[in-house]
Amino acid sequence: MKEKILEYLLNHQGEFTSGEVLRREFGVSRTAIWKHMKTLKEEGYQITSVPNKGYQLTIEEDRLLAYELEKSLGKKVEVHQSIDSTNNHLKRNARDYPDEMIVLSEEQKKGRGRLGRSWDSPKGAGLFFSMLLRPRITMEESFKITGIAAAAVAEAIEEVTGLPARIKWPNDILVQGKKVSGILTEVSGEPDGINYIIVGIGINVNTPNFTGELKDRATSLYLEKGEKVSRKELFVRAANKFFRFYHGFTREKTLGEVHGILENRSAVLGKEVIILRGEEKKQGKAVEITKEGFLKVRYESGEEEVLSSGEVSV
Ligand code: BTN
């Protein structure tokens, strides 16, 4: 019912609709209408109510609306105004939520990055979302999901903004050498089979500035392009691409076209890199992204190693 009322108001933007009209249209009491309006307002919809006139919905530009995103993607989408972390939210609700459900939030109070870091998630400035997946793959194969997400985000960024997007293995997207997006993939399961995977993606879309130590390392699409970027368009493109690549992978069990994207867009291939693993620091040359999406490095000794995790700095 709530969705029907929302759709009605959307089709009547710019005008007031009285509670009585809605009551007749949907055959429910005016109290019920009032309660649905209250819920919609709590969900962040801007609804003005004026006595004797009724209700009017105003949609701000680039507002993320669950019903609209669901229509574009054909998937269950939830949009929060504020949340601790979309990854945490999916983890708490994994048992009850359908496969391939997506949760976005306008802001995160405790956005998390890799290696216990935090992820700045200021209201309305970026895209902060997580996807719940239940593929039939092993724990080892689940590593590829990060590569699939990185490829999808990098391509979507470039297609929507025209800015060149590179992938810093394994999970950062860079524009002009600075980070615009990060991916946090969390897996629940046993070595031979997984329960679920949560892929969390943060993109600095319209962030106006960065301060402190982030200033030199992070940027936003707005800062690089010099104009605002549509979060809606970017999200839909990135999510659609992700699911196309992901379904290809679950079907074929190989990265397919994603491998080429990881190679061509790599920000580390052919470069001297420093590999950080816990306390250990090693220097080598990034020589290959393997068919599995791993990074092969060659050390000065000539010895080669294939990395499946860790952090690399260029
Ligand atoms: C990183 O670069 O370290 C990963 C950053 C991942 C941030 C996203 S924002 C949406 C999702 N929810 C979180 O708490 N983190 C991820």
- Residue pLDDT, tens place only, 19-44: 999 999 999 998 999 999 999 888 77
* Residue to mutate, 82, 183, 184, ligand 1, most ligand atoms under 8 Å from C-beta: 184
Q: Are residues 145 and 120 in the same domain?
A: yes
pLDDT over 70, % of the chain: 100
CB atoms within 10 A of CB 109: 10
Q: Are residues 73 and 35 in the same domain?
A: no
Q: Are residues 185 and 145 in the same domain?
A: yes
Q: What would the pLDDT profile of 60-90 be if each residue is shown by its tens digit?
A: 778 898 888 999 999 999 999 899 999 999 9
Q: Are residues 121 and 54 in the same domain?
A: no
Q: Are residues 120 and 14 in the same domain?
A: no
Q: pLDDT at position 219, please?
A: 97
**ipTM for this model:** 0.99
Of 40, 58, 76, the one marking the end of a domain is 58
Q: pLDDT at position 10, please?
A: 87
Cα diameter, the chain: 82
Q: Are residues 132 and 46 in the same domain?
A: no
Q: pLDDT at position 46, please?
A: 86
| Domain of residue 70, CATH code | 3.30.930.10
pLDDT at 314 over 80: no
Residue nearest to atom 2 of ligand 1 (CA): 182
Angle in degrees, 0-180, between the axes of helices 231-252 and 66-73, rounded to the nearest 10? 40
Q: What's the Rg (C-alpha) of the chain?
A: 22
Tell me the average pLDDT across 253-269.
97
In a 10 Å sphere around its CB, with 0-12 CB exposed, 13-18 middle and 19+ buried, how is residue 239 labelled? Answer: buried
Q: Are residues 173 and 29 in the same domain?
A: no
Q: Are residues 50 and 187 in the same domain?
A: no
Ligand 1 atom nearest to CA at 87:
12
Q: Into how many domains does the chain fold?
A: 3
Walk across the sheet containing 77-80 and list its strands.
77-80, 102-105, 127-133, 193-203, 178-190, 172-175, 165-168
Q: pLDDT at position 190, please?
A: 83
Q: pLDDT at position 281, please?
A: 87
Contact of 184 with 161, CB cutoff 8 Å: no
Of 58, 84, 99, the one marking the end of a domain is 58
Q: Are residues 106 and 15 in the same domain?
A: no
Residues composing the chain: 314
Q: Which domain holds residue 48?
A: 2-58
Nearest CA to 187 out of 125, 137, 258, 123 is that of 137
